Each structure stands twice: as structure tokens, then as C-alpha cells.
Amino acid sequence: MGALGFDSLTAILKLRLGQRTQYDDIGGINYHGVLINQAYKQLTSAHRLPLVEKSFYFPQMHVVSPSIPTVDGQAYVNAPSDTLRVRHVFDKTTPHKLDWMSIPWYVSQDTRADTTAEGAPLKWSRDGNRIYIFPTPDAVYDLEVWYRRVAADLSASQTTLIGAEWDGAIIALAAYKGHIWLGEYDRAKPDKEEYTDIVTGLINVYAREESDRNEAMLADDQYLRPNR
């Protein structure tokens, strides 16, 4: 998790934006805090990291739900409220992993509303905040949802879910967004450059770790060379 609490992140951002106290309370909203939360969520939710257009994901955002029981005769369960993307659905009762199905395929199945064709869940698909199950469950089954979550807004002294090394990127991205909001485009440029440098450096570190891990699984050179 991060090292700086929300209050510290907000205070640093306020300093970078020129200590403008008028944005501390507009209609009861602290807009320095809004910018921090927007930057945090954008960084952790986007398929590509903002401003650098590089694919990256934070493993801290991948979680597994507590058991979600199906209802006999009900074709769906509700996805966790913080779901960004469902990755897998696992039936703990049977037990087995459900296969994914498309919504058009599901809608085309005549038996989905047939109470005589109910059974153990085999397939799943998400539509809105519902995860549809096929066939419609004939009993209570405990489902486990593996999903990518949306970060909750920070408040008080809460820290981020991601590593402390990303605190600086969140502040720089929030400062960039703040200066753009204010029409201060010249001041936004250094913020963007700082953010880009931090993010690019971190991505390269993680890429090096993955490369080292892959190299560690290769056979040693002495086993790849023919005997001489």
C-alpha cells in the first residue's frame, strides 16, 4: 500500500497548485481531494496508463469475492459493487470453473426460462451489475467471483492499495489535471513530464523483474551446448 495518507497527498497537491485555499471548500467539496481521487482511480482502472499509453495492471486490484449464493430459479447473481471487470467465476459447491458465454448466446437459449431445465451452473456472462448463470440454478450454489475492482475513494489518512512507489505519480497526475482545469497549460507541462518519468521508470523495473523471472526458468547454457 501507499506510504502517504490521503490528507498528506492532498496537502502536497495543494502546495503544488499554489496553496489556493478557495478550492478547499466549494459547496462542501474539497477539490484538491477530488483531484487526488480522480488521479488514483484513473491510474488503477485504465487499460492503458494515462498520458503514457502503455498497458499495465496492478495485481492489488485483482481480488476474489466472498461466496455469493445463487437462488433456486433465479438466473443471475449480483456482481460485487466495486467490480470493474469480471475475470472468472468458480462454483465452490460442485466444484468447477464456469465457462464464459456471450450475452447474445445466452439470450438465444430457449431453455434459460424453462423451470424444468434448471441445473448446476455451467456458464456465466456479465451484463450491467448482474452475472447471468446458465443453466438457471436448480438449488443454492456458492459462487466465487474473481474480478478486477475499482479503487474506493480515499479519505482522512487512508493510503492507496498500490505500492508507495506510485504516490509521486498520483500527485504529479493530479497536479497536471489541476493545472489543466485552471487553464494553466504551461504549468501543466512539468507535471506531465514528472509523471511520465516516474511511470516509465516503474514500468521498466517491473518489466525487468518479469524478464529475470522468465530467464530463471530457462535451462543453463551448459545444458544447451552440445558436448565438444
Q: Which three cell numbers stand for residue 30?
A: 474539497
pLDDT at position 13 is 98
User: pLDDT band for position 39 (50/70/90)?
Assistant: very high
Say how far apart CA 146 and CA 15 lie, in whole Å: 40
Q: Which of 51-55, 140-144, 171-175, 186-190 has the lowest mean pLDDT?
A: 51-55
Q: Is the dihedral of CA 35, 202, 12, 84 positive or negative?
A: positive
Which residue type sits at 1?
M
Say how far apart CA 29 and CA 20 lie, in whole Å: 14
Asked if 2 and 162 count as a contact pair (C-beta separation under 8 A), the reply is yes
Please give the helix or strand (H or E) that residue 11 lies within, else none.
helix 6-16
pLDDT digits over 44-92, tens only?
Answer: 999 999 999 888 889 999 999 999 999 999 999 999 999 999 999 999 9
Q: For the purposes of burial, counting CB atoms within 10 Å of the CB of 70, is it exposed (0-12), middle (13-18) or buried (19 or more)? A: buried
pLDDT digits over 129-168, tens only?
Answer: 999 999 999 999 999 999 999 999 999 999 999 999 999 9
Nearest to 149 by CA among 41, 75, 28, 55: 41
Phi, then psi, of 199 in degrees rounded to 5: -65, -45
Q: Is the pLDDT of residue 212 over 70?
A: no
pLDDT at position 205 is 85
pLDDT at position 114 is 85
Q: Is the peptide bond before 95 cis (omega within 30 degrees of 0)?
A: yes
Q: Is the pLDDT of residue 11 over 60?
A: yes
Average pLDDT over residues 118-136: 97
- Strand, helix or coil for residue 21: helix
Nearest to 101 by CA among 66, 127, 67, 82: 127
pLDDT at position 222 is 47
